[in-house]
């Protein structure tokens, strides 16, 4: 390759300057650098049919977070003598056009394990190689290369966290050199370049400021958050994942760095490195899997399993997923999604998700368990779709991995252990401040009834200006009977999976569903008789 030829840095995730091997390589021996981001219409264009404001793929909170991250990246590039070139269209086509138009000799972009990007990257790479363009696509979104771990494990992904950690070892350190300047942008030719669009310019009209997440996107924000977090040395050293208060919302009891890791505004290697520096100054610290380092390893674990498992994002054809005859009930799904289940703890969390695009990990556990194996017995894929759309930190591998886990479809199989939609939140927030904040309709309900407002006497409901069944819904299920029903169904599904060694067909599931429905009908029919017997005995 001739010295001083033009290179293209294609940003997708990895929206940062620090610890960015693709950017560093793009600058080497290049006299011109084209930093490009392509606005993908299927990710950004408004979809009027979606259940919340946003595109067909993402809610508005995440789109806004991405735009803020791009504005910040542009500012940081400008400080180094460059700028972000924003183009619009199908990324593959746009990129190939740019490679031709600017006579690019070197194409650099961060490797991505998601199926969507795997397909896209193959198209772009194939063209680049045929045109004699050098391609450099390093793994820098995760601590480790998932392909290396799978190879070490004999071609299969490790299916437990412990086996993953044993194989992984120590990650490579982040790039130590700070970027002080970048080659200038070359002539733009006929490529249509724009500035980073605003939410309004993308077609989202009538959106009020107050509707957005309190978390702002961008590398600058990520590094500021990281610094503030690392200054609390004792907190960092004593961090334990199962602990932490899911109802703390004004100051969340967690780092809230997940959205910055998701978009690559923060390098996971740099984060890992910073935690280790804090550990060196402390007499003792927690260990994986519960420590802060443990959380980064969990992230890599899910990335590795997701990368090595065909159909990881669905039940059917997924060899590590139990086949369960989930029920299909649009009304129940909608009540859960819109925060109208009649269980204030669940509804407050779902309202926070809609408003902020974020909630504490234990809050996520509560609502995911409630939707699937806890109360409603609805397919985890349906819940996954809602999270995928609304979370600002929605990450393909981690979102699917967590739903598989929380529905007891994979990784975790103690389906009898259920998060109560009543007592779990009460343990952290006995006064119900979290509920009062996100469900103002219940703000005057006395604390004795805030988690179960349907049990409040009518006089109390009247005084609180909240009549249950009118101002706030009645519970969509009776938790006590729903939990029994779910356990019975999970037990039968597990038995079938064991009997057929996991090779459960569509027909087998249909038959089990019929049997479960029939058992439920018989159970319902027997109830009046039972009550009558009890009255006679009484």
Consult the annotation and say whether 296 binds a ligand. yes
Q: What is the pTM of this model?
A: 0.95
Q: Which long-range contacts (CB under 8 A, 24 or more apart) does 231-234 make?
A: 233/278, 233/281, 233/282, 234/282
Q: Which residue ranges form the domains of the chain, and what is each CATH number?
A: 1-139 (3.40.50.620), 219-308 (1.25.40.80), 330-526 (1.10.579.10)
Residue 101's φ and ψ, nearest 5 degrees, are -60, -40
Consult the annotation and say whether 391 binds a ligand. no
Task: Decide if pLDDT at 42 tops 90.
Answer: no
Model pLDDT, residue 2: 41
CB atoms under 10 Å from CB of 141, counted, come to 24
Mean pLDDT of the 151-160 span: 97
Mean pLDDT of the 75-80 span: 98
Consult the annotation and say whether 508 binds a ligand. no
Consult the annotation and say whether 393 binds a ligand. yes
Task: Decide if pLDDT at 24 tops 90.
Answer: yes
pLDDT-wise least confident of 122-136, 151-165, 316-330, 507-521: 507-521
State pLDDT tens for residues 59-77: 999 999 999 999 999 999 9
Model pLDDT, residue 401: 98
Mean pLDDT of the 406-433 span: 97
Model pLDDT, residue 538: 52
Confidence of residue 537 (pLDDT cuts 50, 70, 90): low
Cα 301 to Cα 164, 181, 392, distances in angstroms:
6, 35, 21
Winning range, highest mean pLDDT, from 175-184, 218-227, 251-260: 218-227
Task: Decide if pLDDT at 534 tops 80.
Answer: no
3-state helix, strand, coil in the chain (%, to 5): 50, 5, 45
Strands of the sheet with 106-108, listed across from one edge? 85-88, 33-39, 7-11, 106-108, 134-136
Reference 342, options 488, 473, 440, 535; nearest CA is 473
For the four alpha carbons of 457, 458, 463 and 465, in that order, the dihedral sign comes to: positive
Model pLDDT, residue 210: 61
Distance of CA 369 to the CA centre of its chain: 16
Consult the annotation and say whether 299 binds a ligand. yes
Pairing of strands 33-39, 7-11: parallel
Consult the annotation and say whether 271 binds a ligand. no
State pLDDT tens for residues 283-307: 999 999 999 999 999 999 999 999 9
Reference 349, options 369, 372, 329; nearest CA is 369
Percent of the chain at pLDDT > 70 equals 97
Model pLDDT, residue 442: 98
Mean pLDDT of the 316-324 span: 97
Model pLDDT, residue 439: 98
Confidence of residue 253 (pLDDT cuts 50, 70, 90): confident
With tokens 């005859």, the residue in question is: 325
Average pLDDT, the chain: 94
State pLDDT tens for residues 356-389: 999 999 999 999 999 999 999 999 999 999 999 9
Consult the annotation and say whether 257 binds a ligand. yes
Consult the annotation and say whether 254 binds a ligand. yes
Reference 249, options 222, 283, 215; nearest CA is 215
Confidence of residue 1 (pLDDT cuts 50, 70, 90): very low
State pLDDT tens for residues 449-478: 999 999 999 999 999 999 999 999 999 999
Cα 420 to Cα 247, 392, 426, 434, distances in angstroms:
15, 26, 10, 16
89 vs 535, higher pLDDT:
89
Consult the annotation and say whether 300 binds a ligand. yes
Taking the C-alpha atoms of residue 379 and residue 191, their distance in angstroms, rounded to an integer, is: 45
Consult the annotation and say whether 258 binds a ligand. yes
DSSP code of 454? G
């Amino acid at each position: 390759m001739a010295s001083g030829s033009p290179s293209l840095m294609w940003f997708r995730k990895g929206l940062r300057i620090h610890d960015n091997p693709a950017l560093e390589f793009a600058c080497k021996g290049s006299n011109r650098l084209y930093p490009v981001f392509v606005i993908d219409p299927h990710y950004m264009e408004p979809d009027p049919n979606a259940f919340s404001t946003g595109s067909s793929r993402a809610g508005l909170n995440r789109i806004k977070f991405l735009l803020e991250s791009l504005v910040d990246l542009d500012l940081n590039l400008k400080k180094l003598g460059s700028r972000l070139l924003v183009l619009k269209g199908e990324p593959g086509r746009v990129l190939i056009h740019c490679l031709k138009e600017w006579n690019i000799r070197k194409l650099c972009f961060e490797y991505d394990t998601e199926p969507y990007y795997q397909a896209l990257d193959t198209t772009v790479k194939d063209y680049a190689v045929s045109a004699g363009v050098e391609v450099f696509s390093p793994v820098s979104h995760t601590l480790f290369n998932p392909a290396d771990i799978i190879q070490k494990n004999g071609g299969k992904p490790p299916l437990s966290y412990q086996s993953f950690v044993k194989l992984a070892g120590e990650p490579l350190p982040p790039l130590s050199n700070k970027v002080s300047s970048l080659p200038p942008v070359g002539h733009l030719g006929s490529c249509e370049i724009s500035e980073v669009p605003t939410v309004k310019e993308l077609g989202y009209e009538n959106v009020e400021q107050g509707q957005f997440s309190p978390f702002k996107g961008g590398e600058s924000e990520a590094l500021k958050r990281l610094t503030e977090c690392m200054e609390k040395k004792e907190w960092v050293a004593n961090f334990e994942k199962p602990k932490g208060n899911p109802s703390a919302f004004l100051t969340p009891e967690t780092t809230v760095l997940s959205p910055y890791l998701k978009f690559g505004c923060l390098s996971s290697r740099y984060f890992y490195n910073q935690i280790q520096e804090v550990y060196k100054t402390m007499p003792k610290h927690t260990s994986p899997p519960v420590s802060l380092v443990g959380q980064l390893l969990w992230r890599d674990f899910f990335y590795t399993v997701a990368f090595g498992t065909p159909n990881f994002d669905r039940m059917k054809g997924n060899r590590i997923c139990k086949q369960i005859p989930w029920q299909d009930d649009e009304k129940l799904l909608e009540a859960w999604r819109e925060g109208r289940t009649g269980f204030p703890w669940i509804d407050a969390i779902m309202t926070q998700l809609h408003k902020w695009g974020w909630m504490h990990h234990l809050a996520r556990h509560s609502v995911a368990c409630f939707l699937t194996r806890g109360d409603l017995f609805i397919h985890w894929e349906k819940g996954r779709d809602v999270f995928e759309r609304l979370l600002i930190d929605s990450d393909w591998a981690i979102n699917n991995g967590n739903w598989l886990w929380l529905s007891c479809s994979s990784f975790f199989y103690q389906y009898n252990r259920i998060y109560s939609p009543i007592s779990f939140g009460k343990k952290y927030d006995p006064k119900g401040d979290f509920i009062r904040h996100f469900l103002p309709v219940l703000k005057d309900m006395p604390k004795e009834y805030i988690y179960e407002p349907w049990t409040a006497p009518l006089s109390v409901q009247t005084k609180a200006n909240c009549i249950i069944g009118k101002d706030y819904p009645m519970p969509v299920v009776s938790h006590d009977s729903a939990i029994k029903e779910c356990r019975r169904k999970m037990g039968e599904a597990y038995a079938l999976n064991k009997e057929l060694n996991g090779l459960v067909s569509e027909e087998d599931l249909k038959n089990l569903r019929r049997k479960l429905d029939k058992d439920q009908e018989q159970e319902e029919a027997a109830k009046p008789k039972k009550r009558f017997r009890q009255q006679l005995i009484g």
